[in-house]
Amino acid sequence: MFHDTPLSCTGHDRLGFGEIAHHLATAFLQNDLSQGFVIGVEGAWGSGKSSLVNMTLNELGNKEDGPHVVRFAPWLVGSRNELLIQLFA
């Protein structure tokens, strides 16, 4: 049993998200990302969303000539103005 902390690599992956992350990263790179790309992950609390995102970003980071990924968590920012400041920082 492990702490309820999101995984970032497949070492302790018990739900098969590593393979999904690999396929997602490959699919992303098969598209023209020059215009930008946004993806959302939805699911119940504790279902592994953060782990899937972390593993996918890890896969993208391991790809030669992979994209530059900007990870932004808007729910951590209070006001609209602060949100924009943090986003563009």
Q: What is the pLDDT of residue 19?
A: 93
Question: What's the domain range around 60?
Answer: 10-88
Report which of 14, 5, 23 is spatially closest to residue 59, judged by C-alpha positions: 23
Q: What is the pLDDT of residue 79?
A: 79
Asked if residue 3 is part of any domain, the answer here is no
Asked if residue 65 is part of any domain, the answer here is yes
Q: What is the pLDDT of residue 51?
A: 92
Asked if residue 50 is part of any domain, the answer here is yes
Asked if residue 5 is part of any domain, the answer here is no
Asked if residue 4 is part of any domain, the answer here is no
Q: Rounded to whole angstroms, how far apart are CA atoms 71 and 32?
A: 19
Per the confidence metrics, is the pTM higher than 0.75?
Answer: no
Give per-residue pLDDT as tens, 19-72.
Answer: 999 999 988 888 887 777 778 889 998 889 999 999 999 888 888 877 777 777
Overall domain count for the chain = 1
Asked if residue 34 is part of any domain, the answer here is yes
